[in-house]
Amino acid sequence: MSHDPASSPLPPGSTIGIIGGGQLGRMAALAAARLGYRVHIFTPETDSPAAQVSDAATIARYDDQEAIERFVRSVDVVTFEFENIPAESVRHMAEHVPVRPCWSVLETAQDRCNEKRFFNSIGIETAPWRAVGSLDDLRQAIQEIGRPAVLKTARLGYDGKGQVKIGPDTDPAEAWAALGTGLDQAGLGVLEGFIDFLGEISVIVARGADGEWAAFDPVWNVHRDHILDTTTVPAPISPSLMDQAMDIAHRAAEALGVVGLLAVEMFVTPNGLLANEMAPRPHNSGHWTMDACVTDQFEQFIRAVCGLPLGNPERHSDAEMKNLIGADADQWLDILKDSSARLHLYGKAEARPGRKMGHVNRIRPRSDR
């Protein structure tokens, strides 16, 4: 009989199944091990960052129902470090074992249109947007939203992939064609008004099966080439905006009934906050918590998924997280010589351009209290 973490905590020694083999799964597995759990990773990738530090790995496609069946029989709870899993696979898992967060959360977060519709439905503002399924839709949407705008695939985009900016002279047909391959897989796109933001922030909130919740401090994110470059905390925003940001993340987690983590990315504009996107899992903009908080995002994630009491998210230090992208990771020896730096590498063999190889957290005593 499988265990239901809603009713009682999953005891140490149990096995947590994690879907996805990337660095988020790796750091979650390390946090799970610290609490005495075993971890079984499900990923199509051989020698994945997560499997390197876990007890077991199933290497199979995300739609391999037979492999999923075997996997769920060997674990006590299932969670995700990657949310683009076929619905059928998740349904299959949920028949055998608790899945945290549940399918409806993934379904909302997998698709930018669903995501924005959800935010708007609970009174959270986003950039103006239109779902677009054809070139005609796109022309119409550009008329309604105006230029500049951004055309994105509704599904499967990350790190700026699957996005085209529509400037004053961009031919809609060319933009539509440029997104072609992404749209073949995803079917639908979304056109968003381009936001001339003051900056970008995010909030990560944890929510337990009993509705208990805890948020990490809002952080300031700077992207380079559409990939997160640095996260800084405290964020240079007013206390009132901080409260609004935490409220947005909490309301979204509550409305979705998330059990686990929810990260919400937002644009800071002169007229207030706009929600950009969300992820129901640990998030790159939460890596700073590993060295600057009493409980970090990965432990908090494991606690929520296993039905344990949530930890204290309090920040004891100021921090700057810098992603090590591609060849940046070659600096590992110099980083290790810096007394304010804590180095985290993900065990990836090949440093391809644009690939997240690790991150470094630089820590200073807390300045704002």
DSSP states along 6-34: TTSPPPTT-EEEEE--SHHHHHHHHHHHH
| Closest CB to ligand ADP among residues 190, 306 | 190
Stretch that binds ligand ADP, among 60-68, 156-164, 290-298, 334-342 (CB under 6 A): 156-164
Site for ligand ADP in 115-154 (CB under 6 A): 127, 150
Instruction: Tell me the β-bridge partners of 126.
Output: 275
Report which secondary-structure segment, H or E, holds 279.
strand 272-279
Out of 146, 158, 236, 257, which residue is the one contacting ligand ADP (CB under 6 A)? 158
Q: Which helix (H) or strand (E) holds 145?
A: helix 135-145
Question: Exposure pattern of 276-286 as b/e (b: 16+ CB <10 Å)?
Answer: bbbbbbbbbbb
Q: Is 159 in the site for ligand ADP (CB under 6 A)?
A: yes
| Residue 13, Ramachandran bin (φ over 0: left; ψ between -120 and 50: alpha; else beta) | left
- CA angle in degrees (0–180, nearest 5) for 281-218-342: 75
Looking at 181-189, 191-199, 285-293, 353-361, which segment touches ligand ADP (CB under 6 A)?
191-199
CB of 61 to ligand ADP, least distance (A): 23
Candidate segments 50-58, 98-106, 188-196, 208-216, binder of ligand ADP by CB under 6 A:
188-196
Residue 160 binding ligand ADP, by CB under 6 A:
yes
d(CA 334, CA 337): 5
The whole-angstrom separation of Cα 126 and Cα 124 is 7
Which residues 6+ apart lie within 8 Å of 80 measured at CB? 18, 19, 20, 101, 106, 280, 281
Between 158 and 334, whose beta carbon lies closer to ligand ADP?
158
Q: Which is nearer to ligand ADP, 43 or 276 (CB)?
A: 276
281, 83 Cβ separation under 8 angstroms: yes
Which of 83, 192, 217, 291 touches ligand ADP by CB under 6 A? Answer: 192
**Among residue numbers 209 through 238, which ones bind ligand ADP (CB under 6 A)?**
223, 226
Contact residue for ligand ADP among 265, 291, 296, 320 (CB under 6 A)? 265
Does position 276 interact with ligand ADP (CB under 6 A)? The reply is: yes
Q: Is 258 in the site for ligand ADP (CB under 6 A)?
A: no
**Interaction of residue 34 with ligand ADP, rule CB under 6 A:** no
In the complex, the residues that contact ligand ADP under the rule CB under 6 A are 127, 150, 157-160, 192, 194-195, 200, 223, 226, 265, 276-277
